[in-house]
Amino acid sequence: MNEWSPAPPADYLPIKDHGLIGDGRACALVGRDGTVSFLCVPRFDAPPLFCSLLDRRRGGSFLLAPDGLRLSRQHYVEDTGVLVTELRADAGLVEVTDAFLLQPGARLEVDAPVGAGELLRHARVTQGSVDLRVALRPRGETQAERQPAGWQLTCPQQSVKLHLTTSRPLPGPECTLRLSQGEDLWIRLRWSEPQPGGSGGSVSRRLDDTVRAWRRWSAFVVADTPRPDLVRRSAITLKLLDYAENGAIVAAATSSLPERIGGDRNWDYRYAWIRDAAYTVFALRRIGLPDEAGGFLHWALTAAWRDGRPRVLYDVDGRPPPPEVIDAELEGYRRSAPVRWGNAAAEQVQHDVYGELLDCAFQWAATGRPLSAGLWYRLSGLAEQARTAWRTPGHGIWEVRTQARPFTYSAAMCQVALDRAARLATRLNLPGSAATWAAEARRLAGRIIHDAWDERAQSFTEHLGATGGLDASLLALPLRRVLPADHPRMIATTRAIAERLGAGNGLLYRYLPQDSPDGLDQPEGAFLLCSFWLVDNLAGQGRTDEAAELFEKLCSYAGPLGLLAEQIDPRDHSFRGNFPQALSHVGLLSSAVVLARAERGMRPELSTHAWFR
């Protein structure tokens, strides 16, 4: 059980003091003060219904908490996405359970709609008596109308109608109730048409069904690894970001949480990046969850084929996201403006997407799943594009907002695309230029080894031609089997990254803006994924004890609920960037598997499937 923490500040809660709940269509952040502070309905990338996390006065929120709050803490119901917040007031203790209700009989392990578009909040007084505050305040102008079963709220800004039903009559969407020990309040908030059955008992059964559905899915997780508790929580968190309708996986639950307080590195991550989603399904496959890969692969290739070339990111329907705009009404988290909706990176050229898609298909097929003729036609077309794409400058994995450049990581992922296409064609006897792809993959790997090497710096550089600064994305080259972790030049590069990009206490910056201009000219936090990549490289070089020590250090940065943000502020270890961040949890999962193999005396490679031998 997590420790009690003092009453939250009147300003903004620390990012780590939030839990994530969801249903495969939408998700919400719930703070340890009893506030739902971020929720977009009816799906991840819709206009926000609540976003007080970005403006505590104007953002909108849903509070359920006692007056006189003194202490609070949170925990998840074990192996589920159901969250419990305990709130201790002057004269009593309230336990609030929050969940998105799943449909009766829902099975999260199949690609099917599982959510009902319904948030359940259950407050139960376990000690003493409290004055329980209920405050439902959607963002923007709202019209409230009493209904026989509760209240209906019309929200023009979000184009939704909310249905609020409760086990006790409420005089309005904002009110205070006096409750004593043993008494409770059930609240259901729906953004679809209400269904029959609003009594406390029936809702209790629905909550039990939701817990069972989560535990059925969690039972598939293989967590015979270091820190199995965080591995299981990471898997559940990634599933909460998985769009059940089609397999799209969003990068994070939020928009515009700052990478630096007071800075403007604030981006909208509520979309599906090809790269992030490919890493996610690969990590899930390694812990016993292969089915998510199939949904993502078909979604991604359908989306990529619409434009004739794969984009960097899409909305959950597989279409370009809306144009990036600044929301001048909101002040931003801790007054870190601007708040952005939409993401202009969708228009960038990033060549790593070819490798992400082909590698995902390779891992899918390697587990015995079929590749249809239509799917292979699209994949082989991407391999052909990769043959020349690497020569064209792009904006790279970090989506710099400067002039396009020939990034080493982008060329490496084009090499991955060619290599995986050749292996697929050979293993499955598929049509295509397998011999040509294989030969070009070998030549491109050689060019990376020689053309990206800086003899003076004794490391690879971020650009082909041995120019530019040092880039932590180079740590991913062994993970994608472009070259082995124990290659002498990779060992030297690993050492250089640890020394020159180190932020202290095991943390790494992804690059230094003064050496690698990104168009923003501002510092940022340390990027968690890069530190997990360092764990994998150390293990691959036989430095297992160092890798295990670093892994434990990184795990210590997880919040009280086991959740991770995109970045860590090296000064005070507070969370920075959008939250929870899929790639950070992917890094934890992958490093746990790598270490488990290393500690058993096995080769700690990202993939040891026979298709690579």
DSSP string computed for 579-613: SSBHHHHHHHHHHHHHHHHHHTTS---S---GGG-
Sign of the alpha-carbon dihedral angle for 535, 539, 541, 545: positive
- Residue 561: pLDDT above 90? yes
- Residue 236: pLDDT above 70? yes
Three-point CA angle 177, 183, 185, nearest 5°: 60
What 3-state class would DSSP assign to 299?
A: helix
Average pLDDT over residues 10-29: 95
The 3-class secondary structure across 243-273, one letter per residue, is: CCCCCCECCECCECCCCCCCCCCCCECCCEE
Ranges 49-58, 73-82, 179-188, 191-200: which has the least confidence: 191-200
In this structure, are residues 22 and 15 in contact, taking their beta carbons and an 8 Å threshold? no
pLDDT at 183: 98
Residues whose CB is less than 8 angstroms from the CB of residue 94 and which lie 6 or more positions away in sequence, other chains included: 65, 66, 86, 87, 123, 124, 125, 126, 130, 132, 179
Return the exposure string of 22-44: e unless at least 16 CB atoms fall within 10 Å of the residue's CB, then b. bbbbbbbbbbbbbbbbbbbbebb
Residue with tokens 């008992």: 201
In sequence order, the β-bridge partners of residue 197 are: none
- Class in CATH terms, 5-201+213-218: mainly beta
Sign of the alpha-carbon dihedral angle for 143, 146, 147, 151: positive
pLDDT at 198: 42
Average pLDDT over residues 531-541: 98
Average pLDDT over residues 33-52: 97
Q: pLDDT digits over 411-430, tens only? A: 999 999 999 999 999 999 99
pLDDT at 112: 55
What 3-state class would DSSP assign to 507?
A: strand
Residue with tokens 């209920």: 134
Of residues 46, 57, 45, 323, the one with CA closest to residue 160: 46
Query: 284 is written with which tokens?
Result: 């899930």
228-612 folds as: Glycosyltransferase (1.50.10)
- Domain range list for the chain: 5-201+213-218, 228-612
Q: pLDDT digits over 349-391, tens only? A: 889 999 999 998 898 888 888 888 988 999 999 999 999 999 9
> What is d(CA 220, CA 505) in angstroms, rounded to the nearest whole number?
34
Of residues 426, 39, 472, the one with CA closest to residue 254: 39
pLDDT at 192: 79
Ranges 4-13, 85-94, 383-392: which has the least confidence: 4-13
> What is d(CA 92, CA 604) in angstroms, rounded to the nearest whole number?
52
Residue with tokens 């490093």: 591
Three-point CA angle 389, 395, 397, nearest 5°: 95
pLDDT over 90 percentage in the chain: 77
pLDDT at 367: 80
pLDDT at 467: 79
Q: pLDDT digits over 282-298, tens only? A: 888 889 888 787 778 78
Residue with tokens 């077309």: 381
Answer yes or no: pTM beyond 0.85: yes
Average pLDDT over residues 49-65: 98
- Residue 196: pLDDT above 60? no
Average pLDDT over residues 483-510: 97
- Residue 52: pLDDT above 80? yes
Answer with the residue of higher pLDDT: 310 or 66.
Answer: 66
Of residues 483, 455, 590, the one with CA closest to residue 541: 483
pLDDT at 606: 47
Answer with the residue of higher pLDDT: 252 or 466.
Answer: 252
pLDDT at 110: 64
pLDDT at 443: 97
Sign of the alpha-carbon dihedral angle for 487, 470, 507, 413: negative
pLDDT at 210: 96
In this structure, are residues 26 and 38 in contact, taking their beta carbons and an 8 Å threshold? no
- Residue 608: pLDDT above 50? no
Mean pLDDT over each residue of the chain, to the nearest integer: 92
